[in-house]
């Protein structure tokens, strides 16, 4: 007899293969199934990704170099001299910055980044 799955350690939800993995996959293996349900795993993944992103942004400068925006949700990592090599965006870019490439980047908020990208400069005058 296998011990029954204890359910999600985070939210307490009972083990349910459809919630954990969708249909089919891993159906017979509650013994090796993750201890967290799909929703909690996703939330943890997002949290971890956010933390890494914030770490990278802090390393580069924490605020938009153009307008001084400091709300993390508005901030983006911008290639100072335009994109040349390495990852373009997302977690790959965050890892690239954290690997010692922070000097190649600046922090811009979404507005300023958009303006730089679409008009070549920002009306604020900072980039």
Cα dihedral: 18, 44, 56, 120 (round 10):
50
Q: Which stretch binds Zn ion (CB under 5 A): 8-16, 44-52, 80-88, 98-106?
A: 8-16
CA distance 54 to 72: 7
List the end-to-end C-alpha distance of the chain, in Å, as a whole number.
66
Q: Which of 11, 19, 48, 49 binds Zn ion (CB under 5 A)?
A: 11
Q: CA 112 to CA 67: how far, in whole Å?
A: 8
| CB 22, min distance to Zn ion, A | 15
Round to whole Å and give the CA distance between 58 and 35: 32
Out of 5, 37, 53, 77, the only residue in the binding site for Zn ion (CB under 5 A) is 37
Identity of the residue, 26 or 99, whose beta carbon is nearer to Zn ion in the bound complex: 26
Residues 52-111 that bind Zn ion (CB under 5 A): 64, 66-67, 69, 109
Asked if residue 40 binds Zn ion (CB under 5 A), the reply is yes
CB of 113 to Zn ion, least distance (A): 8
Whole-number minimum distance, CB 13 to Zn ion, in Å?
5
Write the CB contacts of 84 (distance below 8 Å, at least 6 apart in sequence). Answer: none
CA 50-14-36 angle, to 5 degrees, is: 25
Q: Give the footprint of Zn ion on this chain (CB under 5 A).
A: 8, 10-11, 13, 37, 40, 64, 66-67, 69, 109, 112, 122, 124, 126
């Amino acid at each position: 007899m296998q011990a029954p799955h204890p359910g999600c350690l985070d939210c307490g939800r009972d083990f349910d293969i459809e919630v954990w993995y969708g249909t089919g996959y891993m159906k017979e293996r509650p013994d090796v199934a993750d201890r967290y349900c799909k929703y909690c795993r996703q939330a943890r993944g997002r949290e971890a990704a956010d933390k890494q992103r914030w770490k990278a942004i802090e390393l580069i400068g924490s605020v938009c170099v153009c307008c001084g925006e400091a709300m993390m949700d508005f901030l983006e990592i911008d290639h100072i001299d335009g994109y040349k090599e390495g990852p373009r965006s997302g977690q790959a870019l965050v890892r690239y910055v954290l690997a010692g490439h922070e000097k190649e980047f600046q922090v811009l908020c979404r507005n300023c980044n958009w303006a730089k990208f679409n008009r070549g400069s920002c009306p604020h005058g900072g980039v």
